[in-house]
Amino acid sequence: MEPGDELGPARAFLIGVAGGTGSGKTTVAERLADLAGTGEVALLKLDMYYRDLNHLPLDERAAVNYDHPEAFDWPLLMRHVDALAAGTPVDVPVYDFQEFVRSDERQEVLPSRIVVVEGILVLAEPDLRARFDLSVYVDTDADVRFIRRLQRDITQRARTPESVISQYLTTVRPMHLQFVEPSKRYADVIIPHGGLNEPALAVLRARVRELVS
C-alpha cells in the first residue's frame, strides 16, 4: 500500500504546521497553497479558535494566558477539521485581538483536497495531532521570533511595546518552553530558519505532492 492509499478518495489530506510565535508558520501554511493551485488548500488558523470570553470584563480578558492550551476551543477546531476532511464547509469564528473576544463575523472555509491547520500548539494537542497525515514544525531562533512578534502586535493589534514585552516574558516564552518546543518531536518535517527557507519549502512541497498523488 502506497502512502495515502488508506485515506480513500473522499477524505482530505491533513497537514499540521506548528512552531513558536513569529516562526513563520503562517508563511509556510499559505505557501503550501501553490501545491495544486488556487482553491485546492483549505487553511485553518488556531488563532481564530480562542475560547469565547465575552462574558468576562475587558481587564480580565486581557490578563488571560493566551499561549496555554486551555485558551483554545479544541472541540470546535476538531469538529471543523473533521468536517472539512469529510467534504463539508465550515464557518470559522473571527477573533478580535484588540477586544479579546470573538466577533460577530464568520468566515466560510470550503473543503479542499488538502487541509492545513496552523498554530503554535497544533502538535501539542494529542487528539488533533492524531488527525494529521503530515506534521510540520517551523523552527526559528528566539530573538527573530520575538522581533517579529513585537512588530506584529504593535502594527496589527494596537499593543504597546511595553505590553508586548511583558506578555512575552510572563506567558509567551514560558509556554513556548513548556508546550511548543517539546511538540517538535512529533513533527515529520522540521523547517529550520523560518518560512523563508526556500530549500526546505521545496522539500516539503515535494513530500506533500508525493503523499497526495
pLDDT the model gives residue 39: 60
- Residues making up the chain, counted from first to last: 213
Question: Which residue pairs, CB below 8 angstroms and at least 24 apart, start in 101-105?
Answer: 101/52, 101/53, 101/54, 101/61, 102/50, 102/52, 102/54
On the question of pLDDT at 9 being above 70, the answer is no
Cell triple for 55: 462574558
Report the share of the chain in percent with pLDDT over 90.
53
What is the pTM (predicted TM-score) of this model? 0.86
Report the alpha-carbon distance of residue 138 to residue 20 in Å, rounded: 8
With beta carbons less than 8 A apart as the criterion, state whether 9 and 202 touch: no
Q: Residue 110 to residues 170, 182, 205: CA-CA distances in angstroms?
A: 37, 32, 22
Strand partners for 134: 15
pLDDT the model gives residue 150: 92
Q: Residue 162 to residues 33, 36, 150, 151: CA-CA distances in angstroms?
A: 36, 43, 10, 12
Q: Of the given ranges (25-39, 87-101, 158-172, 196-210), which has the lowest mean pLDDT?
A: 25-39
Give me the chain's average pLDDT, please: 87
Taking only the tens place, the pLDDT of each residue in 75-100 is 999 999 999 999 999 999 999 888 88
CA 73 to chain centre: 13
Report the alpha-carbon distance of residue 83 to residue 11 in Å, rounded: 10
pLDDT the model gives residue 38: 53
Per-residue confidence band for 37, with pLDDT thresholds at 50, 70 and 90 = low
pLDDT the model gives residue 7: 42
pLDDT the model gives residue 2: 42
Mean pLDDT for 199-205 is: 82
CA dihedral 154, 158, 160, 161 (to 10 degrees): -10
pLDDT the model gives residue 30: 80
Mean pLDDT for 1-25 is: 72
